[in-house]
Structure 1
Amino acid sequence: MRQIAADVGVQAGALYNYTPDKQSLLFDLMKTHMDELLEAWQAEKSDGTPLDRLEVFTRFHIRFHLDRPDAVFIAYMELRNLSPENFAAIEALRKRYEDELEQILSDGKQAGVFHQPDTKLATLALIAMLTGVTTWYRGDGRLTREGVADLYWDMVRKAVGA
């Protein structure tokens, strides 16, 4: 709390005028991230073939997360610090998002376009891979954001046997 206060230029005690405790602050940050992710995905997702939908999901996920590396770090690395009830709420939001990808993969498997042996495992693996881009990507690095999305799309396509 002291570091947050210092970053925004107030005394640590002043933060408690806005949030009752650290748990509430952490939960609010994580919930806001997940709500924004789900809302943005609803606006982005499209109909089409499972392959088309998977490409849209892949590119969306990378773009959304590269725009918010700090929020991503908190949302994925601080789960262990949530109370059980707050953890359950965030996990439910995460599951809603994962279900979107799992449905795409399931549709592709049923259509004979994707050939992954376990759709749930593929979902979790792909989300981990796509989210991981925020740990290493630098805007001034050798790859552009679009170049990263192109490479990741190629890896995702191959990972599901498309």
Structure 2
Amino acid sequence: MARTQGSRAEITGPLLRDEARRLFARQGYAAVSMRQIAAAVGVQAGALYAYTPDKQALLRDLLESHMQDLLDAWSDDPAADPLSRLERFVRFHIGFSLDHTDAVFLSYMELRNLTPENFARIAALRGQYEGLLERILRDGVAAGVMRIEDVKLTALALIAMLTGVTNWYREGGRLDRDRIAQIYWGLARGAVGAA
């Protein structure tokens, strides 16, 4: 029996991805077997291969879809002033990261488990995203509203700082999302030398 009776492909496929993401984030990619994923989904292990060729392809797909979702969700207005664009980026990145904490965790902690070819694919998508912030920063320097010694390094540092919120933020904690975004915006302004 390929699937448990009554299961449906349009449900099983997304459930497989959700459970794999959850298990990889909690236990680590190397520690999770396809059999564990199958048990969490409620199918026999062999049924998973109707949805993914192997565990490596599943990890690549999870990381790739996360990066593509991130890229698709962001929209920039190059005609707006660079500081407004940077503020939008800060608030966007924090909100998106907090809404996708398991995917963010995988994107940083499980890159090491990708094959070189898969790593290159994910690195290219990450480079595209970093490039979006770099463009804002270059525009800010050109407009004279930001003082940055190295745009690439500043972009990487800002993304790392913003993403770090997923390590400690807990819903219902001392600071709500809006206040955290406001504080991070102040930190980002300082990092780019804006008044």
- Name the TM tier (shorter chain): over 0.9
Distance in 2 (CA, whole Å) between partners of 1:5 and 1:93 is 29
Greater alpha carbon shift after TM alignment, 148-157 vs 9-18 = 9-18
Matching residue of 2:190: 158
Matching residue of 1:15: 48
Matching residue of 1:52: 84
1:3 and 2:30 matched: no
| Root-mean-square deviation over aligned CA pairs | 1.1
Matching residue of 1:68: 100
Greater alpha carbon shift after TM alignment, 6-15 vs 148-157 = 6-15
Matching residue of 1:98: 130
Matching residue of 2:16: none
Report how far residue 100 of structure 1 moved.
Answer: 0.5
Residue number among 60, 64, 79 corresponding to 1:31 in the alignment = 64
Distance in 1 (CA, whole Å) between partners of 2:45 and 2:173 is 36
Report how far residue 7 of structure 1 moved.
Answer: 2.5
Residues 3 and 154 (structure 1 numbering): CA distance in 2 closer, same or farther, change over 3 Å? Answer: farther
Structure 1 unaligned regions, length at least 5: none
Matching residue of 1:89: 121
1:25 maps to amino acid: L
Report how far residue 76 of structure 1 moved.
Answer: 1.5
* TM-score normalised over the length of structure 1: 0.94
1:108 and 2:140 matched: yes
DSSP 3-state at the match of 2:50: coil
DSSP 3-state at the match of 2:171: coil
Distance in 1 (CA, whole Å) between partners of 2:123 and 2:117 is 10
Structure 2 unaligned regions, length at least 5: 1-33
| Deviation beyond 4 Å, 4+ runs, structure 1 | none
1:22 maps to amino acid: K
Asked which structure has the greater RCO (Cα within 8 Å, sep 6+), the reply is 1
DSSP 3-state at the match of 2:144: coil
Tell me which structure has the larger Cα radius of gyration.
Answer: 2
Distance in 1 (CA, whole Å) between partners of 2:189 and 2:40 is 41
Distance in 2 (CA, whole Å) between partners of 1:141 and 1:9 is 35
The percent of aligned pairs where both chains have the same amino acid is 65
DSSP 3-state at the match of 2:117: helix
Report how far residue 15 of structure 1 moved.
Answer: 1.6
Report how far residue 126 of structure 1 moved.
Answer: 0.3
Report how far residue 18 of structure 1 moved.
Answer: 1.2
